[in-house]
Amino acid sequence: MNVRNWMATGVLHVLVAWGAQPVLAADYLKVAMMDQQQVIERSVAGKRALEELKSYSTTRQKIIDSDDQELKELEKGMQDASMSEEARKEKQDHFRTKLEAYQRRIQDFNREVQEKQRGMVAEYAQKIQAAAAAVAQKEGFTAVLDKGSETTVKIVIYSHPSVDLTEQIIKEFDRQNK
């Protein structure tokens, strides 16, 4: 089996796994590409979602910054040389308690932001899939593959710009998600 037949068989297996109807040898396989990341970053709804995520993170960061400032002030207060040993120990215990709470809050906030991000990615992946399916059906494509990027898995090594549906999918995505 030569490389071209092997790759065609691989694409066919991928399409069948995705639920596409098997393509007979006489049928014409028409594949397009898209960039999901660009759809999120450039669509109106995607920009709005990214801005909400950024705002969510910024709000939590302000709380962390406030806690950080409080810890610095507590630490500075422990520097007083005229303080009794008992008062110093009390301040150190208070500082330690605040530091542990601060560290837990950072972990909790990071987990919350990651969960919110995962939820957004899952939600938008479904919405992008719906927009891609609509464009593919309208344009007569059998499959649409995500080009990926340098930061994600890059399955498609090369595609001709004429089969890149990203712009059409962005428009359809915005139409469906006003």
Q: How many domains does the chain have?
A: 1
pLDDT in tens, 79-103: 877 888 888 889 899 999 999 999 9
Question: In which residue are the tokens 């009794």 written?
Answer: 84
Q: What is the CATH number of the domain that holds 52?
A: 3.30.910.20
User: Structure pTM?
Assistant: 0.69
Rounded to the nearest 5°, which phi and psi values hold at 61?
Answer: -65, -35
Q: Residue 118's domain spans which residues?
A: 3-176
pLDDT in tens, 26-74: 467 889 999 998 999 999 999 999 999 999 999 999 999 999 999 999 8
The angle at the Cα of 170, spanning 166 to 171, to the nearest 5 degrees, equals 120
Q: Which residues pair with 27 in a beta bridge?
A: none
What is the distance between the terminal CA atoms of the chain, rounded to a whole angstrom? 49
